[in-house]
Amino acid sequence: MGERHSDDGPPGRRRAHPGGPVPGPRPADPGTALEARFGTALRPDGAGLDPEAERRAVAAFRAARDAGAHRARTRRRDDWRPRAPRRARFSVTASLSAFLASVTLGGLAVAAIASAGAPAHRGDEQPAPHPTADTSERPASVPAPEPSGPRPATSQAPASPAPTDPAATESAAAHARPDRPATAKDTLAHCRAYEQVKDRGKALNSTAWQRLVTAAGGAEKVAAYCAGRLAAATTAAEEPGAGR
Amino acid sequence: MGQGGERRRLQAHDGELGAAVARAQDGDETAFAVAYRMVQPGLLGYLRGLVGDDAEDVASDAWLEIARDLGRFKGDGAGFRGWTATIARHRALDHLRRQRVRPRATGLEQDVLELPGPHSTYDQALEALSTERALALVRGLPRDQAEAVLLRVVVGLDGPAAARVLGKRPGAVRTAAYRGLKRLARQLDGGLPAVHGADGGVTDEGPGTLGDST
């Protein structure tokens, strides 16, 4: 009995739908059949359209076309193309801000490395550079006499700093030190930190490291480049130190 | 059985419609007539939900504007339905504004109350929802729900397009359509005799529904 009931139940109920007293197919999700029913009920079929209205619409079309109204400019509200252009515009903004963020974060990371790593090295290598670095900082912040032309911007290539150039180092006695670009210090700091960082995954992908590698002329030349830089910096630091 | 089978049916013709619009924009008036015949039913259904018996007049106005501005339009068939619906909606709102200034006996409530009662038999209610009754039910909804339902079911717009026509967020329009359809479903059931007496919820359907007229 119970089996029979449970077997007959569902099909019986289904059969009862069209005429029985059982509730109709109440759409569990209000959509589907209900939408279809309302759509059919509310949308007049083609035969129900007024041909006179169509004639008027077409006449208006013809008049506008002949008057040249169809050459009018597209306003924003007339543009119903799929949203692809807007998304593209957005992605330009997004990628630009992502780029800026990565540059900023990369710079922060490098600054953190430099500030953490540099003093330790300087401490045991050479006590002299510290005061030198400080003195070079102070005049640089004042727009002091700059006989050697405009101060190099930090974005300039680090390949042209004073220490490598013997002539510049020679004439540096009094006023080249103020002009000593920050990039030179950066380069030295990067060189010192490079040994520690180079095996650590993606750190070398950041902009500052890329700059160092570019300046050195390739990843494999960084060691040699840095050795030269450090030697030059040491002599450059000792010279004024001795002069004092 | 996703939602919007009806919408898909309408959207199936969008390629054809887009081609007709493109030819019309090149000056082909036969193509314009083709586009008219494809769009007008949905537009008229939508306008009937908004302005009732004045739908034909408002649609006429809308088509004058559509015919005039066709050159400005950019988009495909689906876009054309959205664009025309926006124009029709503006004309309808203008019309309603004028009516409010100079009111006359329109009687949405009367429409509802004077329904001939096709729901008296179960079969009729289930199989053939009459235009009058469907219209009365939809017009009994709050405006935002009615419009969301009409744009989706009758015009065949998808969520984002309907939202653009209404100038609202897609989420809000989706919710309104959902609530409206749910309410319509409840009212259809509530209108059936001796069906769902327990949970048919005649009382919670608000005023002016069919449940009250039976």
In this structure, are B93 and B135 located in the same domain? no
Q: What are the chain B neighbours of A57 within 8 Å (beta carbons)?
A: 32-33, 36, 60, 63-64, 66-67
Tell whether A57 is within 8 A of chain B (Cβ).
yes
Report CB contact under 8 Å: A57, B134.
no
With 80 as the cut, is the pLDDT of residue A132 above it? no
Q: Which domain holds residue B134?
A: 107-214
Interface test with B, best of A29, A80, A86 (most B CBs within 10 A): A80
**A211 three-class SS:** helix
In this structure, are B86 and B134 located in the same domain? no
Q: Do you know the residue count of chain B?
A: 214
Interface of A with B in 81-110 (CB under 8 A): 81-83
Instruction: Name the residue in chain A with its Cα closest to that of B181.
Output: A30
Q: Where are the domains of chain A?
A: 157-244
pLDDT in tens, B159-169: 999 999 999 99
Residue-level pLDDT at B60: 95
Of B52, B78, B106, the residue that ends a domain is: B106
Residue-level pLDDT at A205: 66
Report CB contact under 8 Å: B59, A74.
no
Residue-level pLDDT at A90: 61
In this structure, are B20 and B38 located in the same domain? yes
With 80 as the cut, is the pLDDT of residue A39 above it? yes
Q: How confident is the model at residue B78 (pLDDT cuts 50, 70, 90)?
A: very high
Of B82, B106, B130, the residue that ends a domain is: B106
DSSP characters over B3-57: S-HHHHHHHTTHHHHHHHHHHHHTT-HHHHHHHHHHHHHHHHHHHHHHHGGGHHH
Tell whether A4 is within 8 A of chain B (Cβ).
no
In this structure, are B93 and B120 located in the same domain? no
In this structure, are B86 and B41 located in the same domain? yes
**A192 three-class SS:** helix
Distance (Å, whole) CA B144 – CA B180: 9
- Stronger pLDDT, B161 or B120, i.e. the higher one: B161
Among B207, B208, B205, which residue's Cα sits nearest to residue B189?
A: B205
- Stronger pLDDT, A203 or B153, i.e. the higher one: B153
In this structure, are B149 and B71 located in the same domain? no
Among B138, B66, B11, which residue's Cα sits nearest to residue A65?
A: B66
B102–chain A nearest CA distance, Å: 26
pLDDT in tens, B36-45: 999 999 999 9
Interface of B with A in 67-106 (CB under 8 A): 67-76, 78-80, 82-83, 86
pLDDT in tens, B14-61: 899 999 999 999 999 999 999 999 999 999 999 999 999 999 999 999
With 60 as the cut, is the pLDDT of residue B125 above it? no
Q: How confident is the model at residue B208 (pLDDT cuts 50, 70, 90)?
A: very low
CA A118 distance to own-chain centroid: 29
With 50 as the cut, is the pLDDT of residue B212 above it? no
DSSP characters over A37-72: HHHHHHS--GGGS-HHHHHHHHHHHHHHHHTTGGGP
In this structure, are B96 and B115 located in the same domain? no
**A79 three-class SS:** strand
Distance (Å, whole) CA B208 – CA B214: 11
Instruction: Say how many Å lie between the first and final Cα of chain A, rounded.
Output: 113
pLDDT in tens, A23-34: 444 444 445 788
Phi first, then psi, for residue A179 (nearest 5°) are: -80, -5
Mean pLDDT of all residues in A59-81: 91
Mean pLDDT of all residues in A168-191: 57
Residue-level pLDDT at A204: 64
With 80 as the cut, is the pLDDT of residue A182 above it? no
- Stronger pLDDT, B164 or A96, i.e. the higher one: B164
The least confident of A184-188, B102-106, B197-201 is B197-201
Q: What are the chain A neighbours of B32 within 8 Å (beta carbons)?
A: 57-58, 61
pLDDT in tens, B177-189: 999 999 999 988 7
- Arithmetic mean of pLDDT over chain B: 80
The token pair at A230 is 């450090």
What is the number of structural domains in chain B? 2
With 70 as the cut, is the pLDDT of residue A59 above it? yes
DSSP alpha helices (H): ranges in chain B?
5-11, 14-25, 29-51, 55-69, 77-101, 108-113, 122-127, 131-139, 143-149, 159-166, 170-190, 210-213
Instruction: Say how many Å lie between the first and final Cα of chain B, rounded.
Output: 33
Report CB contact under 8 Å: B67, A37.
no
Of B72, B106, B140, the residue that ends a domain is: B106
In this structure, are B161 and B74 located in the same domain? no
In this structure, are B29 and B46 located in the same domain? yes
Residue-level pLDDT at A25: 43
Q: How confident is the model at residue A4 (pLDDT cuts 50, 70, 90)?
A: very low
Return the CATH number at B55: 1.10.1740.10
Q: Could you identify the residue written with the tokens 């390739």?
A: A218
With 80 as the cut, is the pLDDT of residue B130 above it? yes
With 90 as the cut, is the pLDDT of residue B172 above it? yes
Largest CA distance in chain A: 114
Distance (Å, whole) CA B42 – CA A118: 74
Instruction: Name the residue in chain A with its Cα closest to that of B75.
Output: A81
Distance (Å, whole) CA A107 – CA B87: 53
Q: How confident is the model at residue A208 (pLDDT cuts 50, 70, 90)?
A: confident
Report the share of chain A in percent with pLDDT over 90.
Answer: 9
- Stronger pLDDT, B125 or A195, i.e. the higher one: A195
